[in-house]
Structure 1
Amino acid sequence: MKPLIKVMLILGCLFALTFVAGRLLGILTVENVQNWLEWAARVDPLVVAGIIVLLLFADLFVAVPTLTITILAGFLLGFPMGAAAAFTGMSLAAFSGYGISRIWGQRGITFLVKDADDRAALTNSFQSGGPFMIMLSRAVPIVTEVSACMAGATRMPLAHYCIFFAVGTVPYVLIATYAGSISSLDDPAPTIIAVLGLNAVLWTSWVVFNRRGKEQSA
C-alpha cells in the first residue's frame, strides 16, 4: 500500500501545483469561466458546448472548477445537451489520462519505485481498491485525474475502467446539469440542493471507503 500512496501523493501534488499556479495567475478561475461561457451564450449554443468540452478536457492538465462548469452547462445549454457536453469533456480528460499513462506510466512508476516487489504490490493494491476510488473520485478534487492515470499505469483493463468511470461520472453529470437547467438567478435553489446533495453523498461514500480500507489493512 505504501508504494501506491507514495505515487498517488506525488501525482496529486503535481496536479495541485497546476491549481495553485492557475489561481495565482488568474487563469481558469470561477469568474473567468463564467464570463467566457456567458459571452459564448450570446454567440451560439455550439460555441458554449465547445468551450465546456475544452474546459473539462483541460482539467487533465490544469485544475478547473468542474462542478461549476457542469452546472453552468445545464443552465446555458439546458438538459440533456448540457449533460452531453459535460460528459464528453470529462470523458476526453479521463481517457486521455488513462491512455497517456498506459503508454508511459510504467516508466514513471519505475523511476519513483525502484524495487520490483514494491511495484508489483502497488499494482495489486490499485487493482483491489482502484475501482472504488475511480467511482468515488468526484468527491475530492484532483483524485479523478490521479485515478485515471493510475488505472492506465497499472494496466487496468479499459473495459473495466470505462464501467467504473461511468458509474461515478454519469449520475454526477446528470444531476448537476439537470439542476442547472431548472435553476435561474431568481431561483438558485435546485443548484444549491444539487451541490449539497452531491457533496454529501460523495463525501459519505468516500469516508466509508477509507474506513473499510483501514480495517482491511489492520
Structure 2
Amino acid sequence: MRRLLIVFFGFFGVFVLIFALAVWTGIAEETIWLDWLQGLKSRSAVWWGTILLLGLDLIFPVPSSLVMTYAGKELGLVEGTLAGFCGSMACSIVGYSLCRWGGRKWFARFVGDADEEQRVREWLMRYGGWMLLLSRPIPMFTEMTACLAGLTGFKMGRFLFFVTLGTLPMALIYAWYGQKGIRGNLHL
C-alpha cells in the first residue's frame, strides 16, 4: 500500500509541476482559455471548443468549472451539460487509457512484489469507485484518479460507471449556473 501512495503522490507531483510550468509561462491564466472560448462565433464551435478544452485539462490547467459554466451560458442547460460531460469524460478516458495500456508494466515493476500488487488491486476494487466518484469536482485529483485507475487495471466498465456518476451532476450544476447567469450577473 505504501508504494501505491508513492505512485499517487508521484502523479500529484507531476501535475503540480505541470501547473507550476503553466503559471510560469502564463498559460495558467483563466482569461487565456476563456477568451479563446468566447471568441468562437457559432454554437457548434462553442460545443466542440468546450469538449476540446476539457479534454486538454489532462495536460494543461484548464479552468474546467469556468469552461462548463460558459458552455451553460452559451448553449443552455441541456447542450451545456452534454458538452461539459463529453469533454470531462474524454479527459478521464484518455488519462485512464494512456496509463492502462502504457503504464501497467511500469507499475508492476515498481510495485515489484506480486502480493503487494494484489493488495493494491483489492484496495482499489473496494474503494476505487468512491475515489473516482468523489474526485470529480477537485482540480488535479480528477486526472490523477483516472490515471491511477488505469495503472492498476481498474475494470473499464466500473471506471466508466463511477466517472459518469460523478461527472454528470457536476456538468449539470455548472451548466445550470451558466444558464442562470444569463439572467443574473454572471460576467463570463
Supply the AA of the counterpart residue of 1:9. Answer: F
Contact 1:4 1:125 in 2 (8 A): no
1:110 is displaced (CA, Å) by 2.9
Distance in 1 separating the partners of 2:92 and 2:80 = 18
Aligned partner of 1:68 in structure 2 is 66
1:96 corresponding residue in structure 2: 94
How many residue pairs align between the two structures? 188
1:177 CA displacement: 0.5
Q: Distance in 2 between matches of 1:89 and 1:140?
A: 16
Gaps of at least 5 residues in structure 1 are 192-218
- The residue that corresponds to 1:180 in the other structure is 178
1:119 to 1:19, Cα distance in 2 relative to 1, 3 A? same
Q: Secondary structure at the match of 1:140?
A: coil
- Aligned counterpart for 2:136 among listed residues 135, 138, 144: 138
Q: Corresponding residue for 1:5?
A: 5
Partner of 1:214: none
Does 2:137 correspond to 1:125?
Answer: no
TM-score w.r.t. length of structure 1: 0.79
- Number of the residue aligned with 2:146: 148
Deviation by residue 1:115-159 (Cα, 9 ceiling, x = unmatched): 332222222222221111100002422111111112222222211
What does 1:13-52 align with in structure 2 at a 5 Å threshold? 13-40=13-40, 43-52=41-50
What residue ranges of structure 2 are gaps of 5+ in the alignment? none
Percent of pairs identical after alignment?
Answer: 29
- Does the 8 Å CA contact 2:137/2:170 hold for their aligned counterparts? no
Letter of the 1:18 partner, please give it: I
Q: Distance in 1 between matches of 2:38 and 2:95?
A: 29
Q: 1:185: how far off?
A: 8.0
For normalisation by structure 2, the TM-score amounts to 0.91
Structure 2 Cα separation of the partners of residues 53 and 85 of structure 1: 6
* Cα distance in structure 1, aligned partners of 2:52 and 2:169: 21
1:76-133 CA-to-partner distances (Å, cap 9, x unmatched) read 2222111111111111111111112221221231343233322222222222211111
Structure 2 residue 122 is matched with structure 1 residue 86: no
1:14 maps to a residue whose letter is: V
Please state whether the residue corresponding to 2:83 is helix, strand or coil: helix
Answer yes or no: is 1:166 the counterpart of 2:167.
no
Q: Distance in 2 between matches of 1:141 and 1:149?
A: 14
Q: Given the superposition, is the C-alpha separation of residues 47 and 28 from structure 1 closer, same or farther in structure 2, using an over 3 Å criterion? A: farther
Per-residue deviation at 1:28? 4.4
- State the AA in 1 paired with 2:31: E
